[in-house]
Amino acid sequence: MDNKPMFLLLLFTLSIATPSASSISCPMDLSYVETFPWDTSSCRDPIDTQHCCQTLLSLFGIGLAKHLKETSLFQLPNKNTLKSCLQDFKLKLSCLKIQPSLVPSCFHNSTQFINNSSCAGITNIKDWKQKVGRISPLDTSCKGDLKSDTSCSMCTDAGFKVTSQLTSIDPKNATKCFFFSVLYAIGIVNHFGPTDPAAASCILGIPLRR
């Protein structure tokens, strides 16, 4: 079975506004950007723009999943908070000698990451449980080690099932519902968490350094 990483399906619908200076601090700890074993090759000269943007979006997803785990909130509160987080993200990339200008190049719109819209009225884990149920396919299929193709495929399939359930409630926000399913799977369900290489590779589609 083709295990297309769930997060990559969002690639060209996820985009973020160009960051600017803000007095609001970012609520996400992005230190993992420098320590997580992600493959940075597509973001180095000669830059492969498409694959680099895919990777950066997925990498930012780790921070959002960690934020969900810590706060139970699926999104950042507002645009200024997002700008602050993107500024921090650029600084972390700079420490890896990756061009920070790639961030505004890859991220164009903030609709997926701030509370200006939702999926089926969901903003937090309590809302999620009310809409999806206390135990969903994600809870049973994504909690363990996702190193094998079989376990990853089961988790991916569960993500599609839950997204279908949510889009039957809110068909106009299918992309947002899929995004929430991804964050829930890696941020809440998986026992190893968002910074586990196997989980991040399977659910977020992050290429790993060899």
pLDDT for the residue numbered 9? 46
pTM of structure = 0.86
The yes-or-no verdict on residue 175 having pLDDT over 50 is yes
Q: What is the mean pLDDT of the chain?
A: 89
The yes-or-no verdict on residue 117 having pLDDT over 80 is no
Residue type present at position 73: L
**Is residue 154 domain-resident?**
yes
**Is residue 36 domain-resident?**
no
**Is residue 29 domain-resident?**
no
**Is residue 28 domain-resident?**
no
pLDDT for the residue numbered 110? 61
Domain span at residue 197 reads: 1-18+41-210
Contact yes or no for 189/139 (Cβ under 8 A) = yes
**Is residue 102 domain-resident?**
yes
**Mean pLDDT (whole number) for 113-139:** 91
Q: Give CA–CA dist 140/153, Å, rounded.
A: 13
**Mean pLDDT (whole number) for 125-145:** 96
Model pLDDT for residues 1-44, shown as the tens digit of each residue: 455 555 554 544 444 444 444 478 999 999 999 999 999 999 99
| Number of domains present in the structure of the chain | 1
**Is residue 33 domain-resident?**
no
Model pLDDT for residues 147-162, shown as the tens digit of each residue: 999 999 999 999 999 9
**Is residue 30 domain-resident?**
no
**Is residue 109 domain-resident?**
yes
